[in-house]
């Protein structure tokens, strides 16, 4: 844990005491198993660095999937006062609104067991994936602007899905305040041909089966039951989001001296939320978020079509329905109760997801009695978890939970560890079919490169941030 010293608060939390220029303490959600993995990892230092930023409220936080990132750690959460605080592109990440979408079906494992190979091949052939992949939808300048403003709504209006898909998408699939005029021509150009593409790296599309139910009431509300076939999609804003982040980071680094903010790391380049530059970034970031929601909406529609055609089933028979769509990399203006008063804050979630509790107005009506679905994918060999947000998240983590397993190996380390092995064959031996655009991706994303998902999720469950609802087992995976 570098030179950082911690105090254990309880079984699932480590305190990073406020020292030096830190404006608040830090807290990392970690049990003994997770904390042992932090040895030698620079992410703990990044948690301390974030605590130096102006206007930060309560704590600099990290979820149990925390690992080193650009400026902010991945798995980092920080909330900032609107008057005195900042917004930092490094606190959102390059893949703006990288997120997950869980889709339920009426199918059981027995219905598709003999067709998994056919489905996987068809998905791989029809859904563009990999570095620089392009989609079948080519956007005109007018359409591109509407995508950036309307997000998933644009996709639905143009026949890519159903109106009810919006009801269970975070923010209805569109973030307010998006202004395409704040997005560079280069970013616009990169987004023209990538809508409806999966991308590369840790992005994936998985066919999964509900393996275990922990909370019957919440599972019933989410429409999940044991033995059910579901699909998990993980993708983001592609080159457009990357370029938006890159553009504004360069701008904020260039003008860093103007802010008068002493930064412990130049990767934390930021602007005051009240400044024009800060407002411009939020407007551009919202465009990236909306593009990502439209992208996942198209990916879902393509998945629907592949299942219907391959299985020769009518939409009603298939019963494909969006359980929920959450975003992982975002900064949002949200309200919280601090010292008995309601206050709006700008919450940065970088590799973290919302975990709003039962009764919260942002939770879809159909789930409001049990809390928001929290989607936590793991590595290719593990599957995923579905959790439900709890009230404690609102008082401790600004309504946030982890977003995945979290890396323990860099991509270079993973590639070296996978040398001479066939990751695809190893997964096949476990009953998991994998198709990827390159062997390199499979090496970088090998299961050992990630923390144990069960341990990560257990921390959130025991800490009372998000409770376990269901465990999903991987059957097949498409990688970029």
Q: Cα separation of 270 and 348, whole Å?
A: 12
Q: Cα separation of 308 and 168, whole Å?
A: 22
The stretches of 312-345 forming alpha helices (DSSP H) are 315-318
Q: Cα separation of 25 and 5, whole Å?
A: 12
The structure tokens 């009230």 sit at 391
Answer yes or no: 403 catalytic.
yes
Give every CB contact of residue 374 below 8 A, 6+ residues apart in sequence: 326, 353, 354, 355, 386, 387, 388, 389, 401, 466
CA-based max dimension of the chain: 64
Q: Which H or E run contains 280?
A: helix 276-311
Burial class of 3 by CB neighbour count within 10 A (0 to 12, 13 to 18, 19+)? exposed
The stretches of 166-275 forming alpha helices (DSSP H) are 185-191, 216-222, 238-254, 256-259
Residue 12, both tokens: 């699932």
Is 187 strand, coil or helix?
Answer: helix
Is 473 strand, coil or helix?
Answer: strand
Residue 462, both tokens: 């025991």
Of the residues 52, 403, 419, 461, only one is catalytic, namely: 403
Inter-CA distances, 111 with 303, 424, 431, Å: 17, 24, 17
- Asked if 294 contacts 155 with a C-beta cutoff of 8 angstroms, the reply is yes
The DSSP code for 56 is: B
Q: Cα separation of 320 and 106, whole Å?
A: 7
Give every CB contact of residue 391 below 8 A, 6+ residues apart in sequence: 357, 358
Single out the residue of 148, 151, 128 nearest to residue 198, CA to CA. Answer: 128
The structure tokens 């599957």 sit at 383
Single out the residue of 103, 105, 100, 136 nearest to residue 311, CA to CA. Answer: 105
Angle between helices 116-126 and 276-311 (to 10 degrees): 140
Active-site residues, by number, are 403
């Amino acid at each position: 844990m570098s030179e950082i010293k911690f105090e254990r608060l309880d079984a699932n939390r480590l305190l990073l005491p406020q020292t030096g220029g830190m404006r608040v303490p830090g807290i990392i959600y970690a049990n003994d198993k997770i904390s042992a993995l932090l040895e030698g990892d620079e992410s703990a230092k990044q948690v301390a660095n974030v605590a130096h930023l102006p206007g930060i409220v309560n704590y600099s936080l990290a979820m149990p999937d925390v690992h080193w990132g650009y400026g902010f750690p991945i798995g980092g959460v920080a909330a900032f006062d609107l008057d005195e605080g900042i917004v930092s592109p490094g606190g959102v990440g390059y893949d703006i609104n990288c997120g997950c979408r869980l889709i339920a079906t009426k199918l059981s494992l027995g219905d598709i067991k003999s067709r998994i190979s056919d489905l996987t091949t068809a998905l791989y052939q029809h859904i563009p994936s990999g570095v620089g992949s392009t989609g079948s939808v080519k956007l005109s300048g007018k359409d591109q602007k509407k995508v950036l403003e309307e997000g998933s709504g644009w996709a639905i209006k143009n026949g890519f899905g159903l109106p009810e898909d919006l009801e269970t998408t975070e923010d209805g699939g569109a973030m307010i305040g998006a202004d395409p005029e704040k997005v560079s021509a280069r970013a616009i150009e990169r987004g023209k041909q990538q809508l409806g593409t999966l991308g590369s790296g840790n992005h994936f599309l998985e066919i999964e089966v509900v393996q275990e139910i922990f909370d019957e009431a919440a599972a019933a509300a989410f429409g999940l039951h044991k033995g059910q076939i579901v699909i998990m999609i993980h993708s983001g804003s592609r080159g457009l989001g990357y370029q938006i982040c890159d553009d504004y980071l360069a701008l904020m680094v260039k003008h860093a001296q103007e802010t008068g903010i002493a930064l412990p790391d130049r990767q934390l380049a930021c602007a005051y939320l009240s400044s024009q530059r800060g407002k411009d970034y939020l407007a551009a970031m919202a465009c990236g978020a909306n593009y990502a929601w439209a992208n996942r909406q198209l990916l879902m529609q393509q998945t629907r079509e592949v299942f219907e055609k391959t299985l020769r089933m009518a939409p009603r028979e298939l019963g494909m329905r969006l359980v929920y769509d959450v975003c992982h990399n975002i900064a949002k203006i949200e309200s919280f109760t601090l010292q008995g008063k309601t206050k709006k804050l700008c919450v940065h979630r970088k590799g973290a997801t919302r975990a709003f509790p039962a009764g919260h107005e942002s939770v879809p009506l159909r789930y409001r009695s049990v809390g928001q679905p929290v989607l936590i994918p793991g590595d290719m060999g593990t599957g995923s978890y579905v959790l439900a947000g709890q009230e404690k998240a609102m008082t401790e983590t600004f309504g946030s939970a982890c977003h995945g397993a979290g890396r323990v190996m860099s991509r270079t380390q993973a590639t070296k560890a996978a040398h001479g092995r066939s990751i695809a064959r190893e997964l096949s031996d476990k009953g998991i079919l994998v198709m990827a655009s390159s062997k390199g991706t499979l090496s970088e994303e090998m299961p050992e490169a990630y923390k144990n998902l069960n341990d990560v999720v257990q921390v959130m469950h025991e800490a009372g941030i998000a409770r376990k609802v269901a465990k999903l087992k991987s059957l097949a995976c498409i990688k970029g």
